[in-house]
Structure 1
Amino acid sequence: MTDPSDPSGKARREFLRRLGGGAAAACTGALAGAGALGAAQGVEAKADDADASPVPGYDWRKHRWGFGVDATKCIGCLRCVEACKRENSVPGDAHHFRTWVERYVYLEGEERARIDSQQDPVNIAASGSEREYRFANRYKDAKVEKAFFVPKLCNHCTHPACVQVCPVGATYKTEDGVVVIDHKYCIGCRYCVQACPYGARFFNEEHGVSDKCEWCYHRITKGLLPACVEVCPVGARVFGDLKDRQSPISLFIRNNRVQVLKPETGNAPNVYYVGIDKEVS
């Protein structure tokens, strides 16, 4: 298998050029077919240049992206989930998500939290549609001691287990720290889905490939924010360049006592949380 960390791999450079070239189309409307899954047609670059950037004017060697989540701010509105679906052409049902939100509720007299997400049947019924998402007010008559919402997504790990198990190198890590999938090469074996300790990947039955959050790579290489970050009304999601000490994510990490999910796995996640407790994993 080709080394997934090798930026000089011809197939990977070609994929990233196509992905970057589809930025304009992705930002103005949903892409169709394979392009909707991230293999947009487009930009040329020197195939023999190991440092060739996938997007004109963008140097991936100068960036290292990171993501922050402030659970003390999240209100569970799920606008992020809906925006992600629209931006990335994720199947329009209540069972496939690149990002999702979990609700943790501690009731009086109970030691463990009750956990649900927008995929819960009760919440689907409350929304009245599999294309719009709401949390049902199921605890209105209960004695709640504590409750909070936790947005989740791919952690874009420094040592991603998903990359290690992919038998064809379809999933790999870019030079700027984003774990992506080249759906042109994905064979649908689902090894990566099983290997991810965070449950951040799903299988797209229609296209026969695995899928996940890519931090809206087509947007961030153009200087835009991921769709979920852009629509959050309370600033619960933070994104930026870890190489820039004054970026939103660098300030978020420096000014808060952050933590990552499942540090014991050794994957070294690059999504940093504030305001969660031990129940969150």
Structure 2
Amino acid sequence: MTQYAIVTDVNRCVGCLACSVACKVVNGAPVGAFWNKTLRIGPTPREEGGNWPDIDMYFLTVSCQHCEHPSCVEVCPTEASHIAEDGTVQIDKSKCIGCQFCAMACPYNVRYLNEEERVVEKCTMCQQLTAQGGLPQCVTQCGGMARWFGDLNGDIRDFKGARGETLGNFCEDFTDDDVYTLPDMGNHPNGRFILRRMKWQGGEQ
């Protein structure tokens, strides 16, 4: 089974928010709702008692992790939240009753109630684009070439970027020890984050 995912090269992210803005524009996310959030991690001293410039600081983009065992799907009473054939977690708005059980179950706080439509929304990984062979908008609009898209069943080094390059050919080399996920609460998040030479503070390795 296909398992689409996004890999973020954290060392390349400059915190410009282009991914967050592009996501809102293409998906029409309402005011106050961000399907893709950019968090600043740090500054953190590299050693106890350390001071500037011996600090680590990086930006972490957080959206739906399209988990392997999504808790949002498990608690949905109408099966509106479901796993699609491409491995992503999607919401059938025609079945959603706006109960927000899924939003409460999500460990990453990335689901939002659309107050006007009274349905829950979140990152769809731009399924309307990827189904036609395109890339998610956050990947296409990433000026720092930090966002990459592909199938986790293959090598993440083959993930595609905005200009058609592959992660492995374009980005600085990395090892398996440089690849992280957000905290795994038994849901097995599928998003991947590459961070070199700094302490990961976002959860599991």
TM-score (norm 1): 0.61
- Deviation digits for residues 184-237 of structure 1, max 9, x if unmatched? 110000000000001111111111111100100010010000000001012211
Change (3 A) 1:277 1:184: farther
Change (3 A) 1:255 1:218: farther
Larger proportion of helix? 1
1:165 is the counterpart of 2:87: no
2:137 maps to 227
Change (3 A) 1:231 1:167: same
Whether contact under 8 Å (1:170, 1:182) holds in the other structure is: yes
Whether contact under 8 Å (2:18, 2:141) holds in the other structure is: yes
- Aligned-residue offset at 1:110: 10
Q: Percent identity?
A: 37
1:272 is the counterpart of 2:192: yes
Whether contact under 8 Å (2:181, 2:202) holds in the other structure is: no
Structure 1 gap segments, 5+ residues each: 1-60, 112-141
- Aligned-residue offset at 1:260: 1.0
Whether contact under 8 Å (1:158, 1:268) holds in the other structure is: yes
Whether contact under 8 Å (1:104, 1:149) holds in the other structure is: yes
Q: Could you tell me how far apart the structure 2 residues matched to 1:206 and 1:239 are?
A: 31
- Report 1:1-281 matches (<5 A): 63-91=2-30, 93=31, 95-106=32-43, 143=52, 145-245=55-155, 247-248=158-159, 256=176, 257-263=178-184, 265-275=185-195, 277-281=199-203
Q: Could you tell me how far apart the structure 2 residues matched to 1:235 and 1:169 are?
A: 36
- Aligned-residue offset at 1:143: 4.2
- Aligned-residue offset at 1:272: 0.7
Structure 2 gap segments, 5+ residues each: 161-165, 169-173
- Aligned-residue offset at 1:251: 6.2
Consecutive aligned runs of 4 or more in structure 1 exceeding 4 Å deviation: 107-111, 249-252
Whether contact under 8 Å (2:56, 2:199) holds in the other structure is: no
Equivalent AA in structure 2 for residue 67 of structure 1: I
Q: Could you tell me how far apart the structure 1 residues matched to 2:99 and 2:110 are?
A: 16
- Aligned-residue offset at 1:106: 2.2
Equivalent AA in structure 2 for residue 198 of structure 1: Y
Q: Could you tell me how far apart the structure 2 residues matched to 1:65 and 1:109 are?
A: 34
Q: Could you tell me how far apart the structure 1 residues matched to 2:3 and 2:65 are?
A: 13
Give the aligned CA root-mean-square deviation in angstroms: 2.6
Larger proportion of strand? 2
- Aligned-residue offset at 1:87: 0.6
Change (3 A) 1:156 1:108: closer
